[in-house]
Copies of this chain bind each other. A is one copy, B any other.
Amino acid sequence: MSQKEITIYDIAEALNLSPATVSRGLKDHPAIRKDTRKRIFDKAKEMGYQQNHFASNLRRSRSNTIGVIVPRLNSYFMASVISGMEKVANAAGYNLIISQSIESKDKEMTNVKTLYNSRVDGLLVSLAYDTETISHFDLFLNKGIPLIFFDRVFEHPQCTSIIIDNYKAAYEVTQHMIQQGCRRMAHITADIKRNVYSERLRGFKHALMDAVLPYDEQLVFFSSLTEQAGVEITQRILALPQLPDGIFCANDTTAVSCIATLKQAGIKIPEQIAVTGFNNDPLSKVIEPNLTTLNYPGQEMGELAAATLIRKLDNKEGGSLNTIVLRHDLIVRESSLRKKV
């Protein structure tokens, strides 16, 4: 026979604290003094307290809130994702609360704690540039609170990832540029700790290799992919002894400021240098020449991420769903179109 299960009341009695204090302490609630929280944790461990059982009971009282952690809210892509999440969450009676990691793993950790203390029912996450492990999500994972990654994901047996095939997408963009006559191509990207950038770089590289074109590491530029980064890297490219004849940027923001900087320097686009982007932001249809880009279905990704999370909350499916891959589309416009069709 198993032992009598340890409850917070047993811990409270042992420590001469109220059950409410023990309950809050176990949830790492900031209202409980740090040293008291430590005493509670230590005693719970000593007595063999089963946190999971407690948590799963607790979690039955839904807050009907979904937490979202994104790197930044300043892109059209992310706004579309959030809009999709909001649509599905609202329809199902959930409210979103959103926080930004501003590309820092430390801030991401703080966000995880804040959203945990806000008692969200689940998390939707796209990772910061410099996050290397996801142990800071253990607070959620250990309690079986569902966590879904989207866009910038991390392989984990408990988590579903929602992505596009970044490798194939970048391969297609590069292949298109080769078909348009590009022979010496540059790539502007971001931190390859993140799947989206490492996969796009891999696609770029393999498309060159498959076309028996040289892959030159000097022509791969790592940046923050901001408007300003686009200007700075384009200036570095313009200072090269030999110019590339194509530049593939890992987002549209950078591609647009790259085009503007090239135009100012008197470069003809696409004749001298073809430029392509990624995401299909509204900007891509406004810049002249219009930008060739990859349509990334952000709204759909947001809807699917929220719907998958809510299905998990409703226990409508098990943990077998590992990865969902959305469709992407190459959108050819003037910025890369050197040959008339």
Contacts and interface: CB of A to CB of B under 8 A. Distances in A.
A114 B83 contact: no
A76 B285 CA distance: 17
Nearest to A98: B98
B100 A65 contact: no
10 contacts: A20-B23, A30-B62, A30-B64, A73-B98, A74-B79, A79-B79, A97-B114, A260-B285, A282-B283, A286-B286
Contact of A95 (B20, B65, B111, B227): B111
A contact residues, range: 35 or more
Interface in A70-101: 72-76, 78-80, 82-83, 86, 90, 95-100
Interface-centre pick from A74, A82, A287 (highest chain B CB count, 10 A): A74
B95 A99 contact: yes
Contact of A30 (B63, B117, B227, B283): B63
Given A227-B282, A283-B282, A95 B82 contact: no
Contacts of A256: 286
Contacts of A100: 82, 86, 96, 98
A329 interface: no
Contacts of A287: 286
Chain B CB within 10 Å, residue with most, of A73, A287, A288: A73
A125 B46 CA distance: 46
A119 interface: yes
Nearest to A19: B20
Contacts of A169: none
Contact of A115 (B31, B97, B110, B286): B97
Q: Which of A19, A75, A99: most chain B CB closer than 10 A? A: A99
A152 B78 CA distance: 23
Interface string A11-44: 0000000111001000000110000000000000
A288 B286 CA distance: 8
Given A20-B18, A30-B62, A283-B286, A86 B74 contact: no
Contacts of A19: 18, 20
A219 interface: no
Interface string A253-290: 00010001000000000000000000000110111100
A99 B98 contact: yes
